Every structure is written in structure tokens, then in C-alpha cells.
Amino acid sequence: MFRISQYMRLLAQAERTGTLPAPRRGQPPGPVVIWNLIRRCNLTCKHCYALSADHDYAGELSTAEVFTVMDDLKAFRVPVLILSGGEPLLRPDLFDIAARAKAMGFYVGLSTNGTLIDAAMADRIAAAEFDYVGISLDGIGEVHDRFRRLAGAFDRSLGGVRLLHVRGVKVGLLKLRLFRPFPATEIAAALKGRKAVGVLDRAVSFGAAGGPLFSEIRSALYGQPGAPPVLNWMYGLGGRDCDLRQIASVIDRLVDAAKGKTGEAINLLGVRL
């Protein structure tokens, strides 16, 4: 697997020491595979990439065919399988596929809309020992429901996240796609307990202290007990590239901030002053 955080750490180290890491020997690993195992889905989201609906589709792979493909992927040195769809939990053999993938040594993720996760399903997911479960949210409450075209979808997905959390499953959920109304309470709750927060803004607010997202997030955290330091980087201005070295420098700075080291809170990336 190509680990971007590890790569950025190596770049930052090279910048500090002036020495590039030695090239790796041997065959490189294959790509990460996000596998749309089934087209059927219980939702019909506005933005669906698969144009899925809640009925069976012809031409899906049988369990035996999935296993054969899995053997091929292993032979191609694929390290990571993300089981996705459609809604992968609608495949009756999903847990057989996951168990075989784990036994074969893949890093196995599950990408689900989360609405089908009740207590019993959460138990099955936890028992399957997925390395990661991803549940996407497109906004808060009704905003998510509108995109997903199902009233209550947000509550059901969030309920799924909570059921998995209490079972110790590593699950991620938050994507900020909508800016207004700004989900300040939810952001504050999501960032509670963090040691440092870095906000990347691809915009400036003329005359304001920092970028627009930074201002909102800092306001959302203002007055919260134990709120983490919030640092801002404005990047990509005027169409400039934001490269890995810049991101590595952000991470280094955040690590320092988490240790209590002070410095500039508002920064520009990739701009000559």
C-alpha cells in the first residue's frame, strides 16, 4: 500500500537532513482496490456514481467468481480491498468474502451507507474485524437526507456509526461539503479531545484574520473547555499547486502545536511574499 502519511514524513525528514531515502528494492506492491461488489442499493442518492436502486441487477459476480478475482488480485500484489457497492451489506455472501479476504492477508475495508446497520449487523461487522469501516455523510440532518433522498437517512447512518463505535470498530464519517448553515455544534463535537487542528482553506477572506473555513471552525471551538489550538493554512491561491512537501510542513507544525509549541496561527502555503 502507498502510505501517503509515511511518504510525507520521509519528505519532511529529507528536507531536514538534506538526504533522500534510499530507493526500495524488490517488486512494488499493487494498487489499492475499491471493489463495487454489488450494484443494488437501498438508497437512490442524487449523486450516485453507480445509478443504483433497490432491485437486483443482472451480471453480478457469484461468490465463486468473487473468490477467483480475489486470487488474481492477490497474485497482482494488491494489498488493500475496500468492499463497496451499491450497498455491500445487501450481498448475502459479504461476510464470507470479508473472512476470506482477511484470511488471505488483505487489509479489508468496508464502505457502506450505514443505514442498514442495526445492533445485530453491528455485531457481525465487529466480528468480521474489518480494518476500517467508512460511512459518508453529505451534510447534517436534512441536508444529508436530501442528497440521499431518504428522510431519516442521516439518523440511521449516524446510529450505525455509534453502534460500531461502542463495539470498538474503527470508523470514520465526517466530510464537510456544505458551508451554510455552518454545522458549528457538530464540528465542535467532532473535534473534541483533539490535540491540534489544522484547517486548509483554498481561499482567502479579504480583510479577515485567516481563511473562511478557519474563521468558522475557530468560532465553533471558541469557549469550549480544553479546545485544541487551531491553525490555518491558505493554499492553492491563484491556481497554485499544493505539493506533498507543503502538506508535510503542515503536519510537522501541527505535531509541534500538539506538544504546546507556539507559532504563527495563520499561514500561506506556496506563496512567495
Give the interface with ligand SF4 as residue ranges (CB under 6 A): 41, 43-45, 48, 50, 52, 85-87, 113
80: which strand partners? 107
Contacts of 168 (CB under 8 A, 6+ apart): 126
Q: Is the dihedral of CA 129, 131, 136, 137 positive or negative?
A: positive
Beta carbon nearer to ligand SF4, 41 or 70: 41
Beta carbon nearer to ligand SF4, 16 or 47: 47
Q: Are 163 and 202 in contact, with CB atoms under 8 Å apart?
A: no
> In the complex, what is the shortest distance from the CB of residue 42 to ligand SF4, in angstroms, rounded to a whole number?
7
Beta carbon nearer to ligand SF4, 45 or 66: 45
Beta carbon nearer to ligand SF4, 88 or 229: 88
> In the complex, what is the shortest distance from the CB of residue 111 to ligand SF4, in angstroms, rounded to a whole number?
8
Beta carbon nearer to ligand SF4, 148 or 218: 148
**Interatomic CA distance for residues 99 and 126, integer angstroms:** 12
First to last CA, the chain: 38
> In the complex, what is the shortest distance from the CB of residue 138 to ligand SF4, in angstroms, rounded to a whole number?
9
> In the complex, what is the shortest distance from the CB of residue 243 to ligand SF4, in angstroms, rounded to a whole number?
31
Long-range contacts of residues 200-209, Cβ cutoff 8 Å, at least 24 apart = 200/233, 200/234, 200/235, 200/242, 200/250, 200/269, 201/232, 201/233, 201/234, 201/235, 202/234, 202/235, 202/236, 202/237, 203/234, 203/237, 204/234, 204/237, 209/266
Cell 531536514 belongs to 16
> In the complex, what is the shortest distance from the CB of residue 44 to ligand SF4, in angstroms, rounded to a whole number?
5
Beta carbon nearer to ligand SF4, 45 or 97: 45
> In the complex, what is the shortest distance from the CB of residue 182 to ligand SF4, in angstroms, rounded to a whole number?
24
